[in-house]
Structure 1
Amino acid sequence: TIDSWSFYDEKILPQQRIRNYERYVQFLVQEFVPYIQKLHKTHRVAVAGASFGGYHAANFAFRFPDLVSHLFCLSGAFSIRNFMDGYSDDLVYFNCPREFVRNDEAWKYKHMHIVLSTSDQDICRDKNVEMAEILRIKGIDFWYDERKWIGHDWPLWR
């Protein structure tokens, strides 16, 4: 996966991790999404993911809201700072929805159908609560779903 060539690869410098990830993101924007748009005759796509896939879905949706109609983020995270070993630049910032959405204009996201899903025992619960609060303060509509007695695992996401 892209994660093994970027965020999870501790053998390379953080600068290279974020550059590798950005190449993947640009592939999605410049090649993959246009292919889907043409194939299905649609302007916007839906994105979804669970766990770190939830991060990827949320990051893509919030970075490129003009391309996304629906976001389903299941037990996602909203920052990559813990993979950057203290390194920071614009690429890191713009791949941390927790940060850039807080400082962005809300109108960009008003058309999007957003679902944040977690559980009371999910290791990402606090991250989802924080993102929900950011969206609420900005006046961006979303659906927050918090289940009971389930951990960060497949039974929560199916």
Structure 2
Amino acid sequence: MDIKKDILYSEKLGRDMQVSIYGHYGISVLMFPAITDNADEYENEGTINAIEHLIKIGKCKVFVTSSIDKEIWFGGSMEPKEKSHLHFKFNQYVEDELVPYIYGNCGGPLPVITAGAGKGAYHAANSFFRRPDIFLGAIAMSGDYDLGIHTYGYFDDNCYYNSPIHYLPNLNDNYWLSFLHSRRHIYLTAGSGKGENPENSKKLAYILTSKGIRHHFEIKDENYSHDFKSWNAILNSIIEGRL
């Protein structure tokens, strides 16, 4: 399996971002870290090993970006307004810098599916729902899609447009809905075991159904907890059986 660790300087964020790349060919899967901000997290936690057989045969090519969550809503000492602005810059990095980087690495604008678990599931879902014109779909495992839970009462327009639970119910623009209605690779999953809160995924699935957006939604049993063992098994199942 081809492995490459690259540094992508982000003009939007004014810093280096690490991108870990696994594979040589296939549908591009852009992953966001689940717990840390480390681009090597999924390699360290056995996720890449769990799907290595799929990567080797060219089923997918995985790109894992580092994140800045510890500075914004999941930690950090900045004022909420600054965190909101930094989140805006992170979106710009993903959409305007990281996606073109992936295209360049793959030799052209091939399909990109976002993916992640935990807080990475939030970013995977939010990135896709914000820009279904550039992403083919999303794999979101054990996520929380209400940004308001993490902003402690602060909720400006940027927070609103980064909170799928809030902006999707009010999305009536046919231009964006046409993209969402045409997508076939939206996967929401959660377990019923230790540390899981499947209600978060149920809320998002309900909204998608109400908007006529087709998706695959599954609540696993109590054997699936909020951990990498569960996420690795789920990701392998989706990529192998659905993509």
* TM-score where L is the length of structure 2: 0.62
Higher helix share: 1
1:126 partnered with 2:199: yes
8 Å Cα contact 1:9-1:17 kept in structure 2: no
* Contact 1:75–1:128 (8 Å) recurs in 2: yes
Q: How much has 1:9 moved relative to structure 2?
A: 2.9
Gaps of 5+ in 2: 1-36, 38-67, 233-243
- Alignment partner for residue 188 of structure 2, among 116, 121, 126? 116
Q: Which has the larger radius of gyration?
A: 2
DSSP-derived class of the 2:192 partner: strand
The within-5 A match list for 1:35-46 is: 35-40=101-106, 41-46=108-113
**Equivalent residue for 2:69?**
3
Task: Please tell me the residue identity of whatever aligns with 2:221.
Answer: K
Work out whether 1:99 is the aligned partner of 2:170.
Answer: no
Could you say which residue in structure 1 is the equivalent of 2:117? 50
Cα distance change, pair 60–152 in 1 and its aligned pair in 2 (3 A)? same
Structural RMSD (CA): 1.5
Between the aligned residues of both structures, percent identity stands at 28
d(CA) in 1 for partners of 2:111, 2:171 = 20
In structure 1, distance between residues paired with 2:96 and 2:186: 23
| Per-residue CA distance 1:22-68 (angstroms, 9 max, x = gap) | 11110111111012123321254111000000001001000111011
> Which sections of structure 1, spanning at least 5 residues, go unmatched?
none
CA distance in 1, matches of 2:100, 2:113: 13
User: 1:10 deviation in Å?
Assistant: 4.6
Alignment partner for residue 152 of structure 1, among 226, 232, 237?
Answer: 226
Secondary structure in structure 2 of the residue aligned to 1:109: helix
Other structure's SS at 2:120 match:
helix
Distance 1:43 1:89 in 2: 34
Give the drift of 1:109: 0.6
Provide closer, same or farther for how the CA distance between residues 87 and 110 of structure 1 changes in structure 2, counting only shifts above 3 A: same
Equivalent residue for 1:89, pick from 144, 152, 156: 156
